[in-house]
Amino acid sequence: MTLSPAEFYQRDREWHPPALTTGYKTSVARSPKYSLISLENTVSEITGPRFGHGDIDPLDKDMLHNYAADGQSAIGERIIIHGRVLDENARPVPDTLVEAWQANAGGRYRHKKDMYLAPIDPNFGGCGRTITDADGYYYFRTVKPGAYPWRNWVNSWRPAHIHLSVFGTAFAQRLITQLYFEGDPLIAKCPIVKTLPDPATVEQLTAKLDMNATIPLDTIAYKFDIVLRGRRSTLFENRLEGN
């Protein structure tokens, strides 16, 4: 007799980093000092929101142009980020809102508190969103973000990365992660990445070069799947206790 996969898998507590990691300085102030408290969700939190493709403009997922003036485009290495949102049994998760935000090609965010010396690109807003199709597929067109310094230690630099947010069927189900890029030497030196206890987790957070999806003379593609649950789920920053 063939057994179907179980709906849920035992949580692997060695997969996520500890909340307190002294090498990542801001975790000292942000990490909880006591056991986490579980709060009961109300009906309003577990039954919404509902997203539809009509709620999203087709240009929202094109960060090359969604903030640019007419006839202009964001400056930088043009890339495609694409993949699928999957559950723990590799089944597609359709109609899921995926949001992205990132620094520009020089490593600077469009944010009033970002004082890095890199210039602001007037044609790049750094934000996008899309909804997965029936096969759980999503993609963004954007520029490859630059590395930037941050005040962890004297000479700490964040690897190039893009933040991703995935909504479920309720606001309380929002998950946040970030992807890195294959071959970036700064990944191994990043204090945040070093909090991950298993090298396989770093691989899972690394978008892989995808020449099959690359558009000749136009855009380089990287593939990044997002796994929502299970022992080997994608790591989510706002669910360090497990998901």
Please identify every residue annotated as catalytic: 109, 148, 158, 161, 163
Distance, CA of 237 to chain centre: 9
Rounded Cα distance, 14 and 154, in Å:
30
Q: Would you say 242 and 11 are in contact if contact means Cβ atoms under 8 Å apart?
A: yes
Read off φ and ψ for residue 31, nearest 5 degrees: -75, 145
- 207 forms beta bridges with 181
Reduced to 3 states (helix: H, G, I; strand: E, B; else coil), residue 80 is: strand
Instruction: Spell out the residues 6+ positions from residue 131 whose beta carbon is closer than 8 angstroms to its own.
Output: 51, 52, 53, 55, 56, 95, 96, 97, 98, 138
CB 192 within 8 A of CB 26: no
Using DSSP bridges, classify how beta strands 127-131 and 97-102 pair: parallel, antiparallel or unpaired. Answer: antiparallel
List the beta bridge partners of residue 29: none
Phi, psi of 29, rounded to the nearest 5 degrees: -85, -30
Backbone angles phi, psi at 235, to 5 degrees: -80, 135
* Cα-based distances in Å from 167 to 50, 95, 96, 176, 223: 10, 10, 6, 9, 20
d(CA 135, CA 174): 20
